[in-house]
Amino acid sequence: MIVNFLRLLIGGINSLIDISFGAIKISDVHVLYVLGSFILLTFFVRLVTINVGRRIFKRMGSGHFIFKKSDPGPARRIFRLIVSGLTVVPLAAFLASLAGVYRDVNNIEYVQTGFRQQIVLFDNSVSAGWESDEPKKTWADLIREGYSELLNLRTGKNDRISLWVFSSNPYLISDFVTNERYLRDKIFKTPHIFIDPKSIYLPGALSSSLLPIPRVIVSGEKMVKIPGEGGTNLAVALDEVTDYLDRKEDERYKHTTFIVVTDGAPDGPVESQLQRLEKKNIRLLVLYIRNSTYDRNLGRSDQFGLEAAQKIENAKKFKLDIVKYGGEFYQANDRAELSRIYRRIDDQETIRFNVKINKDKDDFSDNFLRFGVSVLFFAIAIGLLMLVRKGTSP
C-alpha cells in the first residue's frame, strides 16, 4: 500500500515531464483570471495582516518581552519563505486543471468496447390502436410503456439497439445506437399504427357488420395511413431484419437478439423464419400484452368474430413455435417478467468492437491535478519536519 502511494506521488511529479508547454492552450481563460485574481488578493491581504500583526505582537501583544536571540534569523526565514512559496506551485497547477489545459492534435485512436446487441420490432398493426383494458389507452401505449420499463432496467448496460416497426411491411426507425434517451424518444414519437385509408376500423368508417366493431383511438400524429397496411405480417418483418444483418457482413452480428414487442399474434406462420434464425444461433424473444379484444368478441357470427377466432389460433401456434426454437414469451406489464427478459438478455454473448475515435485535442487537466497534489504533499511534509525540528517562533 505504501509502495503504491509513493508511486502515485512520484507519478504526479513526472506527469508534466513529457508535455510541450509551448503548444498548451486553455479552454476557459475566465476561470484562470477570476480564481487567480482571487487567490493573489487573498495572499496579499494575508501577507499584510501577518507583517502588521507580528510587529504589534512583538511589542505589546504577548504580555512579555521577546529576546533578540528568539529571532529565527535570516537563513531560517528564507527557508521558511521558500517552503511557503512552494504552495504557489500546486495552486497554479490546480488552476490550470480547472481552466482545462489541452493541446491541439489530430489523432485517430481505436478503443475496444463491449455491448449486447438487439433488434427490436414494434407491432404497428391496426389492433394495437384499439382501446385496451385501461380506458383511453391503446394496446400500442401499453406495450411501449412495458418496453420503456425494460430500457430503464437495462440502463448502464451499454446495449446496442436497432429499432423497427412493422405492420404489413417492416420499416427501419433507427440503426444500432446505445443512446437510451434517443431510443425512448423514438419509441413514443414514431407512429404507433399503420392503417389502410379504407379500413373499417377507422373512426366513422362504414361496416357491413350489424354488431359493433372496435375502432382505433390513436391520435392523428401517431397514426399513418398507407394503402395495404394494417396487418401483422411478422414473417416479412423477420425476413427483412435477418437480411439486414446479413448485409452487415460481420460475424459479430450473429450474437444479436431479436425482440418482438406485440399485442397479439402474426397473421400467418413464421416457422421457416424461426428455423433460419436458429441456424444463426439467434433466439426470438416476445414482449407482449395479450389483446383481450379478440377474446371478448370470440363466437360472433360476423366477419370480425371469424377474425378473432383465427387470431387466437394463430397466437397459440405462434407461442408453440417460439418455444420450440429456443425463444420465450414475456408479459410487458409484469415487473417479474421484465426481470426475466433482462436476465435472458444478460445471458447473450457480449460483442467486442474496436471503435475509431477521432481526437482533436489532448486534455492535460488530470496531469496538472496529479502534479499539484504531489507537490502540495511534499510541501506539507517539509513544513511538518521543520516544525518538529525547530518548533515555532514569533
DSSP states of 300-314 as a string? -SSHHHHHHHHHHHH
**How confident is the model at residue 56, as a pLDDT?**
55
**How confident is the model at residue 259, as a pLDDT?**
95
**How confident is the model at residue 89, as a pLDDT?**
72
Closest CA to 127 of 271, 315, 274: 315
- 103 and 361 Cβ atoms separated by less than 8 Å: yes
**How confident is the model at residue 81, as a pLDDT?**
65
Cα 47 versus chain centre, distance: 50
- Please indicate whether residue 20 or residue 9 has the higher confidence score (pLDDT): 20
Q: In the predicted model, is pLDDT for residue 238 greater than 80?
A: yes
Lowest mean pLDDT of 66-80, 110-124, 174-188, 284-298, name the range.
Answer: 66-80
What string of DSSP letters covers 249-290? --GGGGGPEEEEEESS--SS--HHHHHHHHHTT--EEEEE--
- Please indicate whether residue 62 or residue 309 has the higher confidence score (pLDDT): 309
Q: How does residue 57 score in pLDDT terms, banded at 50, 70 and 90?
A: low
**Averaged pLDDT for residues 265-289:** 91
Residues contacting 128, CB < 8 A, separation 6+: 138, 139, 140, 143, 192, 193, 262, 263, 291
Q: How does residue 386 score in pLDDT terms, banded at 50, 70 and 90?
A: low
Please give the model's pTM, rounded to 2 decimal places: 0.64
DSSP-derived letter for residue 138 is B
Q: In the predicted model, is pLDDT for residue 220 greater than 90?
A: no
**Averaged pLDDT for residues 157-181:** 92
Cell of 231: 396487418
The mean of the pLDDT values for the chain is: 80
**How confident is the model at residue 369, as a pLDDT?**
72
Q: How does residue 22 score in pLDDT terms, banded at 50, 70 and 90?
A: low
Q: How does residue 91 score in pLDDT terms, banded at 50, 70 and 90?
A: confident
**How confident is the model at residue 41, as a pLDDT?**
79
**How confident is the model at residue 34, as a pLDDT?**
73
**Averaged pLDDT for residues 187-201:** 93
**How confident is the model at residue 11, as a pLDDT?**
59
Lowest mean pLDDT of 40-49, 178-187, 240-249, 307-316, name the range.
Answer: 40-49
- Please indicate whether residue 141 or residue 65 has the higher confidence score (pLDDT): 141
Sheet holding 160-166, edge to edge: 170-177, 160-166, 117-123, 257-262, 284-288, 328-331
Q: What is the pLDDT of residues 115-149, one digit of tens each?
A: 888 999 999 999 999 999 999 999 999 999 999 99
**How confident is the model at residue 292, as a pLDDT?**
92
**How confident is the model at residue 73, as a pLDDT?**
61
Q: What is the pLDDT of residues 345-365, one digit of tens each?
A: 988 877 776 666 655 566 767
Cell of 178: 446505445
E-state strands within 33-81: none
**How confident is the model at residue 166, as a pLDDT?**
96
Kindly list the structural domains of the chain, giving each domain's residue range(s) and its CATH number in brackets, ordered by start: 2-106+362-390 (no CATH), 117-349 (3.40.50.410)
Cell of 72: 529565527
Cell of 200: 373499417
